[in-house]
Structure 1
Amino acid sequence: MTLGLGVLPIVMDRIGGSVALSWRWVPLIVLTCSVAITGMWLRSTWPSRGLSQLAVLLTTGCIAAACLSVTDPLLGIMGCVIFVIPTVYISVFHSVRMLLVPWMVAATVMVVLAARLSGPAVAVGLSSMALIVVVNGFLAVACATAIGLVNPHDRRGEDIEHVTGLLTVTGFYEQVATLIGARSRATDRHLIVAVADLDSYSLLRSLAGAAGARQARVTTAQQLRETTRGQTVLAHVGETQFLLADVFATPDASVLLDRVRGAVTAPPAQVTVSIGAVSIPLRTLAGGANQDVLEEIRALAVAAMTQARAAGGNRVCQLIAPVLTTLGNDHLDDQ
């Protein structure tokens, strides 16, 4: 969308001649910035927060310049509706406070353009301004509401690992606790926590370089997304370790784990992983799963993964219903 809008001022200038002579440099600047922003998102890794904020500032400035450059002020006011793009982007990826940037710029541009109006165009311009304000406010609230419905614990990217887009370990623990709390622990369901670690990562890094190793992590994360269910909690820790958690009706999750291992091994990733998994009956977690409990489960999964790697790698090792010392003595008989 950014790239397409970057071409729009040039089309308007070449075909309609609607750009003022003193602003003829604006279309070229807008197109250059649009290409740069598009290139940022076409890379193999997620942009950093700083780059993303820079993209917002460039987009806001380009929209303002394009609206001010037209000879017809009424057309410029109507063009301010494009400010909905940074509004939606900020609502999804950044804090609400950052919305002040495009909104203040939009308000300034519309006031400047409104001062140029005369006659019947004044009423049309003021009506357009009111519509733009309503649309921007509505979309900001709608985006925030949608994010809250999808993930009530969203922190605007604080729990996202920026290379793969998966959760960090902190976000993983919070999501697993939410997953457990949403399930009835009176049934015989089981929590499965697995650790998948890339085999021979140092060799891969030396052969393919840092970019190749990073691409392997990104591809592995994508394979995990496509192989697991939508409710499965996925995380990336360090350089080589991936975490996944889900609730199953049976304690044996070997079907899923073998499918994950096969998906990662297949093209385009073509790397192998050693997987360690722990299966815990939900009834033993009736008292809640705090961070200490989840860290112990993860440690057991790491130990199982280490055992799988010691056996040659590219295989799965499971622990079913191990005793968790962090739950206290009251739960040992149940386990």
Structure 2
Amino acid sequence: MDGIVARWWRQSDQFEWLSRYLYARGLAVPTRRLMVLFCAALVPMPLGLVGPPDPSNMMSIVLLIASAAVGVGFGALYVRGWPTRVQSLALVVSGGLISVACILVADPVKALVSCTGLVVLGVYLAFFHSSKAVVCSTSVSVVLAAVCAVRVVEAGVSSQIAVSGFWVIVEVSAGVPLAVQALVRTLGADVVRSDHDALTGVLNRRAFYERARILLAAPGGDRHLIVIMIDLDKFKLLNDTFGHAAGDQVLTAVGWQLRQSNSATAIIGRAGGEEFLVTDSVQSAEAERLPARLCEAISALPHSITASVGAAVVPHEAVPARGLTIDKLVHIADAAMYTAKRSGGNRAVIETISRRPIAVPRSADHDRHRS
């Protein structure tokens, strides 16, 4: 039991993969619109709990201004695009602080009932963030509910109302976010399994294209986007000679080698059969070296296999200007790969899409083409 709790406590948040999932399924925009409505709901919150601004009560004026600033500010953030992890947490903290302040100032009974509103923040954290964040949110809700229950008793209202209200808030604040988090974790495990090729362990073709499209849309600064097509040389002959079991062993080994030879940010997929795709955002010098390095890494495997490697390289800033899509870049990389294969295989060919081509030393195993 302790081991289960410890694993649950150490789990990382699901902000990145869930954000990618929403983008891939076309749900990012509807989710952003929903968050804009949530932020807008913060603006009138002090009016409902504290009442209209009263010059004799500066707290009501301060809370209204703060709530409007947070609601409008974060609403504008979601209108513009998807937030970062830090911005997402900042929304929860800001909204939570204002909610707590409003509840503490409100009438005791109204304050106790309003504690249930913090469940919304807990559910949001359960969807996107870590177990630690959920526990922190739940703890705040429970402590605040206890404070409000004591205030209800002190105000002369029935203690039964205070106890029952407190218990309901504890159940909802703890139960709902934990149930949501368990559901999201299960969904995440299924998403991960459905995104990966069972044999090689890399992404399947669909998942590769989904994640590559997100990478193309992300700001890259002065980095270069590289798309690499890898085709194993004479793989059909290997299958015909040694059988499909041997071919599967080779594919598994190549998948493992590609994961070891690329950076943690690389997106690696199996395009089908004996073809693999890799894309990453790298510095110019790394774009120059990576295709040949992958070619050499595959030939170094103890399976007597080589690969023809084609790559398309483009500065990130040139992607939107030239109307490039992942399909176009894969097509360019595929053409470069066939050039390498016609040259005898076991070599890399790079197509540079840039006004300032990357200088790559010409060698027997590393040719250069420019477009």
TM-score range, shorter chain: 0.5 to 0.7
Give 1:41-120 correspondences, 5 Å limit: 41-44=78-81, 46-47=83-84, 49-70=85-106, 72-118=107-153, 119-120=156-157
Structure 2 CA distance for partners of 1:193 and 1:33, relative to 1, 3 Å: closer
- Letter of the 2:168 partner, please give it: L
* Contact 1:80 1:106 survives alignment (8 Å): yes
Q: Which residue of 2 aligns with 1:9?
A: 46
Give 1:90-239 correspondences, 5 Å limit: 90-118=125-153, 119-152=156-189, 179-181=196-198, 220-221=216-217, 239=223
How far the C-alpha of 1:33 sits from its partner, in A, is 2.0
Larger Rg: 2
Distance 1:126 1:303 in 2: 69
Instruction: Identify the match of residue 305 of structure 1 among 287, 298, 311.
Output: 311
- Letter of the 1:180 partner, please give it: D
Distance 1:68 1:109 in 2: 8
- Letter of the 1:76 partner, please give it: A
How far the C-alpha of 1:177 sits from its partner, in A, is 10
Give 1:253-332 correspondences, 5 Å limit: 276-278=228-230, 284-286=247-249, 288=252, 290-294=255-259, 295=261, 297=276, 298=278, 299=294, 303-306=309-312, 314=328, 316=331, 317-318=333-334
Q: Which residue of 2 aligns with 1:241?
A: 225
* Contact 1:84 1:135 survives alignment (8 Å): yes
SS at match of 1:241: strand
How far the C-alpha of 1:117 sits from its partner, in A, is 1.8
* Contact 1:110 1:129 survives alignment (8 Å): yes
Structure 2 CA distance for partners of 1:240 and 1:116, relative to 1, 3 Å: same
Distance 2:222 2:179 in 1: 35
Distance 2:100 2:208 in 1: 50
Distance 1:140 1:87 in 2: 6
Structure 2 CA distance for partners of 1:11 and 1:193, relative to 1, 3 Å: closer
- Letter of the 1:104 partner, please give it: S
Structure 2 CA distance for partners of 1:51 and 1:14, relative to 1, 3 Å: same
Distance 2:205 2:229 in 1: 10
Aligned length: 229
Please provide the CA RMSD for this pair.
Answer: 4.8
Distance 1:179 1:308 in 2: 27
TM-score norm. by structure 2 comes to 0.48
How far the C-alpha of 1:115 sits from its partner, in A, is 2.0
Q: Which residue of 2 aligns with 1:28?
A: 65
Structure 2 CA distance for partners of 1:150 and 1:104, relative to 1, 3 Å: closer
How far the C-alpha of 1:84 sits from its partner, in A, is 1.2
Distance 2:142 2:161 in 1: 16
- Letter of the 2:173 partner, please give it: N
- Letter of the 2:102 partner, please give it: A
SS at match of 1:306: strand
* Contact 2:199 2:248 survives alignment (8 Å): no
How far the C-alpha of 1:34 sits from its partner, in A, is 2.1
* Contact 1:192 1:278 survives alignment (8 Å): no
Structure 2 CA distance for partners of 1:88 and 1:237, relative to 1, 3 Å: farther
Deviations 1:202-253 (A, max 9, x none): xxxxxxxxxxxxxxx869549xxxxxxxxxxxxx9995537xxxxxxxxxxx
Instruction: Identify the match of residue 75 of structure 2 among 14, 17, 38.
Output: 38
Structure 2 CA distance for partners of 1:33 and 1:8, relative to 1, 3 Å: same
How far the C-alpha of 1:98 sits from its partner, in A, is 2.1
How far the C-alpha of 1:91 sits from its partner, in A, is 1.6
Distance 1:135 1:219 in 2: 38
Distance 2:222 2:308 in 1: 13
